[in-house]
Chain A
Amino acid sequence: MRDAIEWMVGGQQGEGVDSTGELFAKTLVRYGLSVSTYKQFMSRIKGGHTNYKIKATKDRNYYAGDGIDILLCLDKETYHVNEEALNEAAVVIQDGKELIVENCTTTFGIAYTKFTLPLKKIATEIGNPLAKNMISLGIAAGLLELPDDQFHSFIADIFQKKGAEVIDSNKRAFSKGVALTKEYLQAQIDPLSLPAASSQLFISGNEATGFGSLMAGVRFLSAYPITPASEIMEWLSKELPKVGGTVMQVEDEIAGICFAIGASYSGARAMTSTSGPGLSLKTEALGLAGMSEVPIVIVNSQRGGPSTGLPTKHEQSDLNQMIFGTHGEIPRIVLSPATIEDAFYLAAESFNLAEICQCPVIVALDLGLSMNKMTVPAFDTDRVVIDRGKLLTAEEAKAYNETHFKRYRFTGDGISPRPLPGMPHAVHTTSSNEHDENGYISEEPQNRTKMMRKRLEKTRGATIQEPLKLQESGTKNDLLLVGMGSTYGIIKEAVEELNKEGAITASHLHIQQLYPLPVAELQQIIQEREVVTVENNYQGQLLQLLKLHMPIHGQAKAVTQYDGNPFTVRAIVRQVKELISWQH
């Protein structure tokens, strides 16, 4: 009986790799398993190696895993690209002229079983040449002894529109795969233990971000298509019209943020979504939102930079741009969800903070979190309560009794009551120029000084519910691994692995509020401890940020990876050990 399965399908882009992976993942979800996935793909429509990785476990997992137990090869490249990841006793399934079962060893000395079979021929005999991937799924299900009924009902659901014959032939293909396993791979069968059914969602970071935004009352999104953020726009363009809102695909990235600033100014909860190159283009308008004190949420799903960089690969190298980007100095908040459920809650919280502080909020996703689906516990709608900050009703605005409403009124906390254009008795001026309380241009030094303080001190004390996620080992003087974004699950497992090995004891801190950084809490946690940041960029931008705020120069190092792929647990463990042995 096994507690976990790591499965991968690989092939040329356009061969159904994605749909096969998604189908298998969704079926595993139906069995109540905790499922994490990772898609590798290239910046082209057809061709090029692509793969879909799944890890399914009885207990909650947060990472699609380092290894592979079952590898389905739809092309020759799949085996070579992924050979290093094969686990002991793995099964590799590939198309071939004849049916052969072989015991093999990888170039890394790992024993595995290679199962070659004429998939297309068998599928044709069954009556549906397109069902060859379904035979392979049957083989996987056979190896894991997954009950047939869920699989059959799922096949019926997905091929519902294609008619009874397609459903039947796919069921036959699936059953054929199960039968072939029983006949040829009896020794390799190791059933997967299944949990009791639970209410969980299978969702990507992009979808969770869109969903959280929608629940927070977003009504307008303007954006320009860009990988890996486009899904946010696509998902919301389906949902927003149902609630009286809309998505606009506009002419460029600058329009993307400017439309949203306009819509937010006139009263809608509004957002834009983008990736690094888009954020670069948006930075002047980011300053506009900061200066004019218009709330706005910008979702930045990071990918491999700089310039066009690695458009379909994972990286976390926009941290500096998100925190420091734009000329001059503006108030801003930068949040970075660690998991997919955090993406839902942080999206919702970002709209609150944007309106409470009347400033831009950047939600930092990365490709790993954005594009991959994972099972998460059902979301809790009571956790985030919508708070529109100092937004005035028409009656409240009228009570000020001003001919020209002072939009930038000085207040104790720097946040001015905000009427909306269209409200009688609240005509007001909003401006990107330095301005006085009326919003009129002012270059007067005393006013300038006061206005700068008003704006830049607004975000003081701004916080989300869970700015830091901390998993302490409980051992004194242990090593603290610090990460952000989608590395959460990987670092979590790396820490577990280090603690299991025992040579190094480690704890795990994940920072969800990157700016303003919760320095007091961080100091409490970090103190005299040795710190290793784990981040997907060259410069160690998270380490630099921590050093900027805390005197940890002698005690902090970074483990980095910037090759376009997410970390593996193995890579983190190895690099941490190297770093520590070199230091001591």
Chain B
Amino acid sequence: MATLKDLRGDQPTWCPGCGHFSIMAGIQKAIIQLGYDPHEVAIISGIGCSGKVSEYVRTNGFHTIHGRSLPVAQGVKMGNPALKVIASGGDGDGYGIGVGHFVHASRRNIDMTYIVMDNNIYGLTKGQTSPRSDHGFVTTTTKDGNKEYPVDPIATSVANGATFVAQGFAGDIKQMTEIIRRAIEHSGFSHVNIYSPCVTFNKVNTYDFYKERLTPIAAPFDDRDKALATIREYDGLVTGVIYEEKRDDFQRKLNVDFDMQSCVSGTMDDDLFRKIEKQFQ
């Protein structure tokens, strides 16, 4: 069984106090609790501060491009259904440039986990507004305050068919680890949004801001309308597993006896060729 040491990859370069450290620890702890070896897991990340997690956690890692962690991660799961696949990125990556993939991954329900490190700002590019920034939020690109309203991530995944939706907070590692563990265990697409304060560029959505406002949800809803109503009631400021449903994942529904990796160097399969050739004779 893996230890925390086994799961340490490259030296993190995040700012001291960044919420991403806690989320990384939550991912590592969840993997340990579930008893996976590093080689059984693949973390596929997007671009931004959050994207570096695939290098900092020592599992198989693929640091992809901005907004595309989800399509690559779903492809990884298709190519090897035995892998435990975790996609990860930030709020700009997942709810801005990559939001289309997020909606479709939710409705597709491939068995994987999507962890978003939500700091309500663009950090790595040094402090611009994000699709998760509040109305009125002042940044280098919204000097008079943000005129737009933020994306509602957990309502989006609930509304679009995700079978596991949860929200955590980097300031509560215990609860967050529990959420991530359950998300990985869940069979189907699990979406975990985690509030992760950016200590350098976001002076509004701080640890204290969230501590004062977050309300834990006792148990997940199995009714999408009720989950949505609750999210709305608390203006998205809830934690815990909000929605959970048991449903066959995408690969099970395909009902294919997957044989993705059997191709070996050597001659072509002549029997298969003869069978198919008939179509064209």
Residue from the list A284, A292, A427, A438 in contact with B39, Cβ < 8 A:
A427
Is A404 a contact of B58 with CB atoms below 8 Å?
yes
Is B75 a contact of A385 with CB atoms below 8 Å?
no
Q: Quick one: which of A351-389 are within 8 Å of B by CB?
A: 378-379, 381-382, 384-388
Is A244 a contact of B276 with CB atoms below 8 Å?
no
Is A245 a contact of B10 with CB atoms below 8 Å?
no
* A248 beta carbon closer than 8 Å to chain B: yes
Also in contact, A432 and B63, with CB within 8 A (given A214-B276, A241-B256, A259-B71) = yes
Segment from B167-175, B230-238, B267-275 that makes contact with A: B267-275
Also in contact, A420 and B58, with CB within 8 A (given A201-B281, A381-B273) = no
Residue from the list B55, B64, B73, B272 in contact with A441, Cβ < 8 A:
B55
Is B76 a contact of A262 with CB atoms below 8 Å?
yes
Is B268 a contact of A216 with CB atoms below 8 Å?
yes
* B1 beta carbon closer than 8 Å to chain A: no
CB contacts (< 8 Å) of A428 on chain B: these are 60-61
Is B71 a contact of A269 with CB atoms below 8 Å?
no
Contact with B along A240-261 (1 / 0, CB 8 A): 0101111010111011001111
Contact with A along B3-17 (1 / 0, CB 8 A): 000000110000000
* A28 beta carbon closer than 8 Å to chain B: no
Is B83 a contact of A258 with CB atoms below 8 Å?
no
Is A246 a contact of B78 with CB atoms below 8 Å?
yes
Residue from the list A202, A239, A258 in contact with B64, Cβ < 8 A:
A258
Q: Quick one: which of A374-430 are within 8 Å of B by CB?
A: 378-379, 381-382, 384-388, 404, 420-430
Residue from the list B71, B261, B270 in contact with A267, Cβ < 8 A:
B261
- How close is B40's CB to chain A, nearest CB, in angstroms? 7
Residue from the list B40, B65, B262, B267 in contact with A244, Cβ < 8 A:
B262
Contact with B along A251-282 (1 / 0, CB 8 A): 11011001111111111111000000000000
CB contacts (< 8 Å) of A220 on chain B: these are 75, 78-79, 260
Is B78 a contact of A248 with CB atoms below 8 Å?
yes
Compute how far the CA of A417 lies from the CA of B47 in the bound complex, rounded to whole angstroms: 26
Compute how far the CA of A245 lies from the CA of B262 in the bound complex, rounded to whole angstroms: 10
Is B82 a contact of A379 with CB atoms below 8 Å?
no
Is A429 a contact of B39 with CB atoms below 8 Å?
no
Also in contact, A244 and B258, with CB within 8 A (given A263-B76, A421-B39, A432-B64) = yes
* Count, chain B residues at interface, CB 8 A: 59
- How close is B62's CB to chain A, nearest CB, in angstroms? 4
- How close is A258's CB to chain B, nearest CB, in angstroms? 3
Residue from the list A241, A264, A379, A440 in contact with B79, Cβ < 8 A:
A264
Contact with A along B65-103 (1 / 0, CB 8 A): 100100111111111101100000000000000001101
Contact with B along A196-207 (1 / 0, CB 8 A): 000101110001
Q: Quick one: which of B89-139 are within 8 Å of A by CB?
A: 100-101, 103-104
CB contacts (< 8 Å) of A264 on chain B: these are 75, 79
Compute how far the CA of A262 lies from the CA of B269 in the bound complex, rounded to whole angstroms: 25
- How close is B54's CB to chain A, nearest CB, in angstroms? 7
Also in contact, A263 and B260, with CB within 8 A (given A250-B104, A429-B9) = yes
CB contacts (< 8 Å) of B60 on chain A: these are 421-422, 427-430
Beyond the given A222-B75, A251-B103, A430-B62, please list 11 additional residue pairs across the A-B interface where CB-CB is below 8 A: A203-B280, A211-B280, A219-B259, A255-B100, A262-B74, A263-B78, A381-B268, A386-B267, A425-B39, A429-B60, A429-B62
Where the two chains meet, the residues of B that have a C-beta atom closer than 8 Å to any C-beta of A are 9-10, 37-40, 42, 44, 47, 52, 54-55, 58-65, 68, 71-80, 82-83, 100-101, 103-104, 254, 256-270, 272-273, 276-277, 280-281
Q: List 29 A-B contacts (CB under 8 A).
A: A202-B280, A215-B273, A219-B79, A222-B78, A245-B256, A246-B258, A251-B100, A259-B71, A261-B64, A262-B79, A263-B260, A265-B75, A266-B75, A266-B79, A266-B260, A267-B261, A270-B75, A382-B267, A386-B265, A404-B58, A420-B261, A421-B83, A429-B9, A430-B63, A431-B61, A432-B65, A438-B10, A439-B63, A440-B55
